[in-house]
Amino acid sequence: MHTNNAPREDAPTPHADFARLRRLNARAVRDSVTLTGRMTPADLRRPTPCSAWTLADLLAHMTAQHNGFAAAALGHGQELSHWSVGPLGADPVAQYRDAAEHVIAAFATVESPDRAFVLPEITRARTFPAARAIGFHLIDYVVHGWDVARTLDLAYAPGSELLRAALPIARAVPDGDSRLAPGSAFRPGLSVANDTGTLEQILAALGRSPDWRTPVFHDHHPGPERGAAGPDTTC
- Is the pLDDT at 225 greater than 60? The verdict is no
- Is the pLDDT at 231 greater than 60? The verdict is no
- Is the pLDDT at 26 greater than 50? The verdict is yes
- Is the pLDDT at 220 greater than 50? The verdict is no
- What pLDDT is recorded for position 208? 87
Residue ranges of E strands in 52-201: 116-117, 128-129
* CA–CA dist 126, 142 (Å, integer): 25
- The model's pLDDT over 180-198, given as tens digits with 9 standing for 90+, comes to 556 566 676 777 777 889 9
Contact 143, 203 (CB under 8 A): yes
The mean pLDDT value for 112-116 works out to 97
Q: Out of 9-23, 78-92, 157-171, which region has the weakest mean confidence (pLDDT)?
A: 9-23
Q: Which residues of 9-44 are buried (b: 16+ CB within 10 A; e: fewer)?
A: eeeeeeeeebeebbebbbbbbbbbbebbeebeeebb
For 207, the 3-state DSSP assignment is: coil
- Give percent of the chain with pLDDT exceeding 90: 68
- What pLDDT is recorded for position 174? 72
Provide φ and ψ at 63, rounded to 5°: -65, -45
Instruction: Select the more confidently predicted residue: 3 or 63.
Output: 63
pTM: 0.85
- Is the pLDDT at 230 greater than 50? The verdict is no
Q: Which residues of 58-80 are buried (b: 16+ CB within 10 A; e: fewer)?
A: bbbbbbbbbbbbbbbbbeebeee
- The model's pLDDT over 122-160, given as tens digits with 9 standing for 90+, comes to 899 999 999 999 999 999 999 999 999 999 999 999 999
The Cβ of residue 108 has, within 10 Å, a number of other Cβ atoms equal to 13
Contact 130, 115 (CB under 8 A): yes
